[in-house]
Amino acid sequence: MPSTISFLLGRKPVTIDFCGSAAWSPAWTLLQYLRSLPDRKGTKEGCGQGDCGACTVVLAEPDREGRLKYSAVNSCLLFLPMVHGRQVLTVEDLKFPDGSLHPVQQAMIDHYGSQCGFCTPGVVMTLFALFKQKPHASAAEIRSALAGNLCRCTGYQPIFRAAQQCLALSGPERESSEEGSTLAELNSIPPAEWEWTGKSEIYCRPKSLEQALEMIGRNPTLSPVHGATDLSLQVHLKHNPPPGILDLSAIPELRASRQEKEELILGSGMSLSDVAGHVRRTHPALEEMLQRFGSAQIRNVATLGGNVGTASPIGDALPALMAYGAAVELKSLAGSRTVPLSDFILGYRRTGIAPGEIIAAVRLPFPPPGARIRAYKVSRRHDVDISTVNGAFRLQLDSDGRIREARLVFGGMSPFTRRAAGAEQALLGKEWSRAAAEEAAARLQEDFQPISDVRGSAGFRRQVAANLLLKFWSDTRSGQAP
């Protein structure tokens, strides 16, 4: 089987053959690759764990309409084969061929957007992606796009001013003429499928679901991965790689969604940014949580399947998914099965996935009219932080105003995301009143025995969890929009 990947690095086609090279391993990150090149030192490592954005680069690939779609990503988390068939743009690529600066670069200069300059290449690339994808971004969208780029010098204000200037300028662009040839070149790169066995690692990259199932059927120790935002840390930060990696990022059907009568079916490989766009109208509480999930760079590659499969106790998508009654669609050579998410997650980072299975999709039912659903996240910092406690709550009232169904899902309160059975029970049959919310909150003390850790003490978690129910009441009481 071949073991090459092909992509565009800026305007230059690059092919890497992992078999022919002692230097490269497919579990290398894109950042390690870029930093190894003498002319790509602009991309920096600030943390090597997807938290600071100094390594931000932009990936361009054809979207459904056949146009180039630009996404800012953390190059420190992406495994190198994941750029196959895409264009990788770094800060060195932005100048126009005549040597003049891109409007994003010029605006950063005009507004003193650089002080020490170390975060600047990442900031420039984030702004470039915004310039391409969202030229009419609001002030809030600019802030949100930049939340994944830490800057310790400027206080961000000069960068906001730069963003406003360059976005105001984004008119007919000089590089558009190049996009046609870029698209043609990217489209001419055939999908890569291969299995690579190094000294101690295995890296498989199937291009179809059948192939993926066949590979994991043969070798159930493979770790399936889409965006690698979690697994990459295990490999590169903890130096504890899994026995093998099954890279699912090349499988188109996993990145697709479809709508059925009663539910949305979201491919497990859809990025969280994509998912947020799909569920904005139908599942606003999930969308709201996804807006605070990691940074834009993370959301552009992290997936719903990854968040579900990781089963972290503070996975930010999980409470909302459970509140909406999501189910997980699992596939293997033996067939497929669908399991409610609340039954799928069994313990701390432990799920009911069977050997040889992969998560193919998440089925997300449409909520019935009148359902009151909210999701909350409490973290030390508002943006790009891991939850101390998160929660998603859903109530269904009878026509006489009594609670018929309650789902109160909490993360950060136990080793895994789960419902608060006692608190839910306390609500049934009651009117949705402050007293009911407080009674349910009191029952949480029996539902959960949270731990103290670096993000917060057990007492703080208990207090916040109880308060979130009060907040839920305050936000959904009569008179408020359901």
Partner 1 sequence: MNLSAENALYYVTGEAAFVDDMPEPSRLLHGLVVTSAEAHARIRSFDLEAARRLPGVAAVLSSRDIPGHNQMGPVIRDELCLAEQEVTFAGQAVFLIAAETMELCRQAAAEIRVEYEPLPAILSLEQAMEAQSLLGPPRTMCRGDAEAGLRAAAHRISGTLRTGAQEHWYLETQVCLCVPGEGREMTVYSSTQHPSETQALAAGVLGISRNEVAVEVKRLGGGFGGKETQANHTACWTALLSRATGRPVKIRLNRDQDMIMTGKRHRFRIGYSAGFDSDGLLQAVRFDFHSDGGAASDLSFAIMERAMLHADNAYFVPNMEIRASVWKTNLPSNTAMRGFGGPQAMAAIETILDRIARHLGKDPLEVRKRNFYRHAPGNVTHYGQTVVEPPLSEMADRLAASSDYHTRRRAAADFNACHEFFRKGIALTPVKFGISFTTTFLNQAGALVLIYADGTVAVNHGGTEMGQGLNAKIQAIAAAGFGLPAGQIKVNATSTSRVPNTSPTAASSGSDLNGMAVRNAIETLKQRIAEAMPAVFADRFGGEKSSAEDIVFEGGCIQDRRRPGCSVPFSEAMREMNLRQVSLAASGFYRTPDIGWDKARGWGKPFHYYVYTMAVSEVLLDLLTGEARLLRVDILHEGGRSIEPGIDRGQIEGGFLQGVGWCTTEEIKWDEGGRLLTHSPDTYKIPTSGDVPPVFHVELLEGRPNPGTVHGSKAIGEPPFMLGLSAWLAIKDAISATAGHREEPDFDLPATGEAILLSLQRLKPGR
Using CB under 8 A as the binding rule, whether residue 471 contacts partner 1 is answered as yes
Measured CA to CA, the distance from residue 286 to residue 316 in angstroms comes to 9
Q: Quote the least distance from Cβ 367 to partner 1, whole Å.
A: 24
Secondary structure class of 8 (helix, strand, coil): strand
Measured CA to CA, the distance from residue 181 to residue 11 in angstroms comes to 10
Using CB under 8 A as the binding rule, whether residue 38 contacts partner 1 is answered as yes
Extract the tokens encoding 152. Answer: 């310790």
Q: Quote the least distance from Cβ 124 to partner 1, whole Å.
A: 6
CB closer to partner 1 out of 116 and 168: 116
The per-residue b/e assignment along 360-376, b for 16 or more CB within 10 angstroms, e otherwise, is bbbbbebbeeebbbbbb
Using CB under 8 A as the binding rule, whether residue 37 contacts partner 1 is answered as no
- Side chain identity at residue 215, one-letter code: M
CB closer to partner 1 out of 6 and 90: 90
Q: Quote the least distance from Cβ 248 to partner 1, whole Å.
A: 25
Using CB under 8 A as the binding rule, whether residue 74 contacts partner 1 is answered as no
For 201-260, the DSSP string reads -EEEE-SSHHHHHHHHHH-TTEEEESS-TTHHHHHHTS----SEEEE-TT-GGGG-EEE-
Q: Quote the least distance from Cβ 237 to partner 1, whole Å.
A: 7
Q: Quote the least distance from Cβ 303 to partner 1, whole Å.
A: 19
Q: Rounded to whole angstroms, what are the CA distances from 405 to 54, 282, 337?
A: 46, 20, 26
Part in contact with partner 1 (CB under 8 A); list of ranges 79-87, 381-389, 394-402, 403-411: 381-389
Residues 89-128 that bind partner 1 (CB under 8 A): 90-92, 94-95, 101, 104-106, 108-110, 112-121, 124
- Side chain identity at residue 279, one-letter code: V
Of 73, 150, 225, 328, which one interacts with partner 1 (CB under 8 A)? Answer: 150
SS3 content of the chain, % helix, strand, coil (to 5): 35, 25, 40
Phi first, then psi, for residue 105 (nearest 5°) are -65, -45
Using CB under 8 A as the binding rule, whether residue 54 contacts partner 1 is answered as yes
Using CB under 8 A as the binding rule, whether residue 388 contacts partner 1 is answered as yes
Residues 236-255 that bind partner 1 (CB under 8 A): 237, 239
Using CB under 8 A as the binding rule, whether residue 42 contacts partner 1 is answered as yes
Q: Give the 3-state secondary structure of 91-130.
A: HHHCCCCCCCCCHHHHHHHHCCCCCCCCCHHHHHHHHHHH
Part in contact with partner 1 (CB under 8 A); list of ranges 205-213, 241-249, 382-390, 415-423: 382-390
Using CB under 8 A as the binding rule, whether residue 474 contacts partner 1 is answered as yes
CB closer to partner 1 out of 156 and 324: 156
Of 4, 49, 208, 211, which one interacts with partner 1 (CB under 8 A)? Answer: 49
Q: How many residues bind partner 1 (CB under 8 A)?
A: 79
Q: Quote the least distance from Cβ 110 to partner 1, whole Å.
A: 6
Residues 332-361 that bind partner 1 (CB under 8 A): none
Q: 480 CB contacts (<8 Å, ≥6 apart)?
A: none
HSE (side-chain half, CA atoms, 13 Å) at 32: 18
Q: Quote the least distance from Cβ 409 to partner 1, whole Å.
A: 17
Q: Quote the least distance from Cβ 371 to partner 1, whole Å.
A: 22
Residues 391-430 that bind partner 1 (CB under 8 A): none
